[in-house]
Amino acid sequence: MSKPATFDYDGPRWLGQPVGLFFLFFTELWERFSYYGMRGILVLFLVAQTTGSNPGFGWTNSEALALYGWYTMLVYLAAIPGGLLADRWLGQKRSVMLGGGLLCVGHLLLAFPPTWAFYTGLTLIILGVGALKPNIAPIVGGLYRPGDDQRDVGFTLFYTGINIGALLASLLVGWVGVTFGWHLGFGLAGIGMLAGQIVFIAGQKHLSGIGEAPNRQEIRAEVGLLGQIYQQRSPLLVTAVAILIGFLFIGQGQVGYGLLSPAIGLAVALGIIFYRNSNEMERGRLLLVFLSFLLIILFWGAFEQAGGLLNLYAQQKTARMLGGFEVPAPWFQSLNPLYILLLGTPVGLFWLWWKRQGRESFALYKMAVGTIIMGLGFLLMAGASIQFENRGESAMFWLVMAYLLHTLGELCASPVALSFITKLSPARYVSFMMGFYFAATGLGNKLAGVLGELAQKTGELQVFVGITLCCVAGGLLVIAMLRPLKQLAHGAEALPGSHFEEQEGFELADTPDEEEEW
């Protein structure tokens, strides 16, 4: 992944912040507007009938959710080569420029009806997000000198812009897509991305010397690391078995899983190499990080039902009349960024107070609590399903409250995840471990699609209850094992680390880490 380098920025400031921050603020705001706007109407477009005033593809729910799972997974997996592209060749600034250009073309292609335009547009969006997403936040960090007390304020502003973009996207793109046409909604998302690209280009003079192309000599060690897979028996065996499984999937016509299997095998092989090349303390920390990836996959596998299964549930099974106005289904996705803007600071202050009371504040504990809270949100959706079975529709109240619990869970779990991983990972492997984090998030998104497909066969009630049980059980298991897990950390929680790492879902702006004072 892209490495956040330290730069000696001495440019002009506005309101105490580097001027370049505000160009990055609006660039990311519009990029998130385009992405979450398109995401908010994607499955609704796919399942819309091919005839009528607002035609779609006429797919079944299962087909739409399957594509949603693959698409959102690939978006996150693309961040790995996107970060490496910046690390090894283009630098962060040029990678963001390339990603923005690909996103503009991809989103605007979705505004046209032909099938080829749809699939080409999705492909370009995957590549564009992969190039832009892992590289824009390090450019923000490059605007500040070490120890600059304005750095945290700058990141707060930056991530506030992200949530504003996500909020506006669900409202505006969702309304346009449902009311005037899906392709017009996609086009509006594309216009947003074009605005972001124009802003980024206009701000280049305020980003001079930041995120430039790297020195190629500094990356040779990472290239050699990949070669160790073929020099050690266990990593080589894991890779070979994964490739064989991939061929078996392809032989059964499941090309996607056939390509995914070797990628997972390669990640496991690299994990073995990292573990073997580390000392005893580092091994304990790496083992803890690898275990945390399982919780991350579980968390995002549940949370990312928002754009898929819950989106379809809002459209097809929720009574959305409010007075004489029918609430567009995509508007429910605006609840998450709205709750984040309202509750981010209170939740952060709660954890700060919690620690000062001498109570447990280990990062993995927060992630487990967040997973439990988020899982309980699906218990409310189980209530919605029961009401639907009895009445033929369910009230909006269930979705509104479910998204509240999902957001509270995210505010507990997501802000500390990357900080936790970067603290525990050996410095020489941080780039790869951040790549693994994005891969785990991507697998969580794929799991979300699979669970959505399962719901079409077994029913939403069974899946909602199952998600609740898995999240609560997973979180409680981590809490029960917290003492031995903390021993594996070898005191890493006391290490200084940047709290403001980019988060997924709708990115959080400002929540204090356990060491930070307000």
DSSP state of 214: P
pLDDT tens-digit series, residues 313-332: 999 999 999 988 999 999 99
pLDDT tens-digit series, residues 395-409: 999 999 999 999 999
Looking at residue 431, its amino acid is S
pLDDT tens-digit series, residues 353-368: 998 998 888 889 999 9
Domains recognised in the chain with CATH numbers:
15-214 (1.20.1250.20), 219-277 (no CATH), 281-518 (1.20.1250.20)
State percent of the chain over pLDDT 90.
54
- What does the mean pLDDT of the chain come to? 86
Q: CA–CA separation, 133 vs 136, rounded Å?
A: 6
Q: CA–CA separation, 374 vs 389, rounded Å?
A: 24
pLDDT of residue 474 exceeding 80 = yes
> Do the strands 321-322 and 325-326 form a parallel or antiparallel pair, or are they unpaired?
antiparallel
On whether the CB atoms of residues 426 and 387 are closer than 8 A, the answer is: no
pLDDT of residue 495: 60
pLDDT of residue 484: 92
Q: Which pTM does this prediction carry?
A: 0.88
3-state secondary structure 384-442: HHHHHHHHCCECHHHHHHHHHHHHHHHHHHHHHHHHHHHHHCCHHHHHHHHHHHHHHHH
Maximum mean pLDDT: which of 81-95, 347-361, 371-385: 371-385
